[in-house]
C-alpha cells in the first residue's frame, strides 16, 4: 500500500519577532524587555537580529522557493501597543498587516504567536510581568486588538510560545520580583497559573471574535529515558515528563489541571491562588489542536522530587548524556525515534490533532571557499525526523497537521548566539560583525524545496 501524507499537510518554518526583525527603535515600537536585557558575553544583542523588518520580501521569496505553505511568526507586543497599557501604534499594525498580505500572496498560510517570551518593558517595571493579573488583562486586550486587525486573514493562532516553560524559568514570564513572604517556587507556579489564565482569556476571545480561526496550544516537549532498568528510574522519568511537558497540554486539551499536578503543588504548599471564575474559564477555553516543539530527548539517572526546589531543578540534577545517541556541540541529542514516541503519546492521551511547530538542529557554520555551506548533517537530521513522523502517522494512526522547522533562515538563538545556526539559508553575520546580512542558500535549501514540494515523498 502506497501511503501518502494528506493533501494540505503543512510544511514551513517558525521564528520569533525578537530573533528576526531588528529595527528595535523604528516604526513607533516601544521598548521591549529584550531591548534592555543583557546577553551573554561574546553573543550579539537584539537590535538588528537578521534585519527581517526591512528584508521580509527577500525572505518570503526564499520561503516560496523552498515550497513553504506555512509560516509561524510572533508579533512584538511593544510594536502594537508600545508600553502595553497605552494606545495602539498604527505603524506597527501596518507592518504586520503588510507581512500577512505578502505571505498570503506567496501561498504561505500565516500563524501568529502573540507572545514569544517578550513583552513591553514598561509592563515588567510597573507590574512585575505576569505576576500581575493586571498584565493578564492587558494581554487579553492586546490579543483582542490583534484579532480585530488580523483575524480576517489569519486563521491559525497561538497564545504563548512553549507555554510550559513558564513553570520552568521565571525569566520567560518577566516576573522577577518574588513577593515578600512567598517562596521562589510558590511564586513560579503562581505566575504559571496566571499565564494559563491569560492563555484561556485569549483563546475564548478568539473563538468568540473569529469563529473560523483555530487556536493551538503549544509546549516544548522532551521525553526522558531511564539510565538504568530500575522501576524507580522509570517512575522518575514518567514524573519528569508529566511535570515538565504535559501538565500544560492537559489543561489546553481538557480544561482542567491534572491530578498529578495539583497533588504535587498542594503537597508542597505551592498551589496557586485562584480568582473566582478561573476554573470555569479553563473549562470553556480548550484549544483546537496541540502544538509542540521538539529538538532532543534526555536521559535521567534515578532520582526523586524533593519538597524544597521546583521540579526542574530536580530534573537538571539527573541529566546525563545518552551513550546511544549522537549530540550537537551544545549537547542536544539527535533522537528521531523520540519524536515518534511523543507524537504517539500526545495523540493517544488527548485524541486531538497534533502539530510539530519547531524541529531542527543548531551547528556552527561559515561559508567555504566556494561561498557554500554543505550541511549534509542537517539534511540527515530532518530526513530522519520526517520519516519518524510519517511512521507515527502511517503505522500508529497519529493525526499530525504539519512539520514546521525552527529558524529556516539563520537567526540568533534564544540566548542571541548567532553562531548556533538552524537554517536552510545562511545569513552573513556573526555575533560581533553585522557584515552585509546577505542570504545564501545552503545545500539543505534545495533538499528542503524537494522534500516539502513533494509533500514529504522525496527525502533522498
DSSP structure string for 384-406: HHHHHHHHHHHHH---EEEEEEE
The whole-number pLDDT of residue 416 equals 96
* CA-to-CA dists, residue 18 to 219, 266, 348, angstroms: 19, 37, 35
- The values of phi and psi at residue 349, to 5°, are -70, -45
The whole-number pLDDT of residue 86 equals 97
For 142-210, strand residue ranges (E) read: 156-160
CA dist., res. 192 & res. 172, Å (int): 10
CA dist., res. 451 & res. 460, Å (int): 8
pTM of the full structure: 0.97
Residues 435-451: b if buried by 16+ CB within 10 A, e if exposed: eebebebbebbebbbeb
Helix (H) and strand (E) counts in the chain: 15, 13
Residue 140 has pLDDT above 60, yes or no: yes
The whole-number pLDDT of residue 397 equals 98
The whole-number pLDDT of residue 300 equals 98
Secondary structure (3-state) at 367: coil
* Active-site residue set: 162, 358
Which residue blocks in 242-277 are alpha helix, DSSP H?
247-254, 259-267
Residue 1 has pLDDT above 70, yes or no: no
The whole-number pLDDT of residue 33 equals 97
Secondary structure (3-state) at 169: coil
> pLDDT (tens digit, 9 = 90+) per residue, 166-217?
999 999 999 999 999 999 999 999 999 999 999 999 999 999 999 999 999 9
pLDDT bucket at 438, cuts 50 / 70 / 90: very high
CA dist., res. 197 & res. 248, Å (int): 11
Secondary structure (3-state) at 75: coil
In the DSSP assignment, the letter for residue 434 is -
The whole-number pLDDT of residue 427 equals 98
The whole-number pLDDT of residue 197 equals 98
Average pLDDT over residues 73-99: 98
pLDDT bucket at 30, cuts 50 / 70 / 90: very high
pLDDT bucket at 109, cuts 50 / 70 / 90: very high
CA dist., res. 410 & res. 434, Å (int): 13
pLDDT bucket at 92, cuts 50 / 70 / 90: very high
* The C-alpha cell that represents 258 in the structure block: 491534572
The whole-number pLDDT of residue 393 equals 98
The whole-number pLDDT of residue 244 equals 98
Which of 406, 393, 403, 408 lies closest to 445 in space, CA to CA?
Answer: 408
The whole-number pLDDT of residue 311 equals 98
The whole-number pLDDT of residue 369 equals 97
The whole-number pLDDT of residue 291 equals 98
pLDDT bucket at 108, cuts 50 / 70 / 90: very high
* CA-to-CA dists, residue 208 to 94, 265, 441, 446, angstroms: 24, 33, 42, 42
- Give one word for 84, left, alpha or beta, with left for phi > 0 and alpha for psi -120 to 50: left
Percent of the chain with pLDDT over 90: 100
CA dist., res. 80 & res. 308, Å (int): 40
CA dist., res. 164 & res. 221, Å (int): 9
> pLDDT (tens digit, 9 = 90+) per residue, 352-394?
999 999 999 999 999 999 999 999 999 999 999 999 999 999 9
* CA-to-CA dists, residue 3 to 61, 354, 390, 393, 395, angstroms: 31, 19, 9, 10, 10
For 44-187, strand residue ranges (E) read: 70-74, 109-115, 156-160
> pLDDT (tens digit, 9 = 90+) per residue, 207-253?
999 999 999 999 999 999 999 999 999 999 999 999 999 999 999 99
**Domains along the chain?**
10-453 (3.20.20.80)
Q: What is the mean pLDDT of the chain?
A: 97
Amino acid at each position: 500500500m502506497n501511503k501518502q501524507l494528506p493533501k494540505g499537510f503543512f510544511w514551513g518554518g517558525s521564528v520569533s519577532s525578537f530573533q528576526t526583525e531588528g529595527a528595535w527603535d523604528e516604526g513607533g515600537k516601544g521598548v521591549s524587555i529584550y531591548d534592555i536585557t543583557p546577553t551573554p558575553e561574546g553573543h550579539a544583542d537584539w537590535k538588528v537580529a537578521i534585519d527581517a523588518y526591512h528584508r521580509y520580501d527577500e525572505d518570503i521569496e526564499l520561503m516560496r522557493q523552498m515550497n513553504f505553505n506555512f509560516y509561524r511568526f510572533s508579533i512584538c507586543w511593544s510594536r502594537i501597543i508600545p508600553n502595553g497599557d497605552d494606545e495602539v501604534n498604527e505603524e506597527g499594525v501596518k507592518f504586520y498587516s503588510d507581512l500577512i498580505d505578502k505571505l498570503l500572496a506567496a501561498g504561505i498560510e500565516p500563524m501568529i504567536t502573540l507572545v514569544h517570551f517578550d513583552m513591553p518593558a514598561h509592563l515588567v517595571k510597573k507590574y512585575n510581568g505576569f505576576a500581575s493579573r493586571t498584565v493578564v488583562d492587558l494581554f487579553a486586550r492586546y490579543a483582542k486588538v490583534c484579532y480585530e486587525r488580523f483575524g480576517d486573514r489569519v486563521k491559525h493562532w497561538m497564545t504563548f510560545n512553549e507555554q510550559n516553560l513558564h513553570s520552568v524559568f521565571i525569566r520567560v514570564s518577566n516576573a522577577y520580583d518574588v513577593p515578600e513572604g512567598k517562596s521562589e517556587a510558590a511564586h513560579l507556579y503562581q505566575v504559571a497559573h496566571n499565564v494559563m489564565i491569560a492563555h484561556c482569556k485569549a483563546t475564548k476571545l478568539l473563538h468568540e471574535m473569529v469563529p473560523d480561526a483555530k487556536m493551538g496550544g503549544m509546549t516544548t516537549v522532551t521525553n526522558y529515558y531511564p539510565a538504568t532498568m530500575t522501576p524507580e528510574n522509570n517512575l522518575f522519568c514518567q514524573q519528569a515528563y508529566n511535570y515538565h511537558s504535559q501538565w500544560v497540554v492537559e489543561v489546553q486539551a481538557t480544561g482542567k489541571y491534572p491530578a498529578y499536578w495539583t497533588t504535587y503543588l498542594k503537597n508542597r504548599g505551592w498551589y496557586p491562588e485562584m480568582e473566582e471564575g478561573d476554573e470555569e474559564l479553563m473549562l470553556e477555553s480548550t484549544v483546537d489542536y496541540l502544538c509542540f516543539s521538539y529538538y532532543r530527548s534526555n536521559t535521567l539517572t534515578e532520582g526523586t522530587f524533593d519538597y524544597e526546589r521546583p521540579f526542574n531543578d530536580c530534573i537538571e540534577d539527573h541529566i546525563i548524556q545518552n551513550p546511544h545517541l549522537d549530540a550537537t556541540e551544545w549537547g542536544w541529542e539527535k533522537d528521531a525515534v523520540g519524536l515518534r514516541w511523543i507524537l504517539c503519546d500526545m495523540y493517544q492521551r488527548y485524541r486531538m490533532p497534533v502539530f510539530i511547530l519547531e524541529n531542527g538542529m543548531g551547528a556552527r557554520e561559515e561559508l567555504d571557499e566556494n561561498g557554500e555551506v554543505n550541511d549534509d548533517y542537517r539534511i540527515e537530521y530532518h530526513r530522519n525526523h520526517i520519516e519518524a513522523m510519517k511512521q507515527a502517522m502511517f503505522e500508529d494512526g497519529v493525526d499530525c497537521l504539519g512539520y514546521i522547522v525552527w529558524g529556516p533562515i539563520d537567526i540568533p538563538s534564544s540566548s542571541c548566539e548567532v553562531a548556533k545556526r538552524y537554517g536552510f539559508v545562511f545569513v552573513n553575520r556573526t555575533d560581533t560583525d553585522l557584515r552585509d546580512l546577505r542570504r545564501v542558500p545552503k545545500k539543505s535549501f534545495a533538499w528542503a524545496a524537494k522534500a516539502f514540494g513533494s509533500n514529504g515523498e522525496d527525502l533522498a
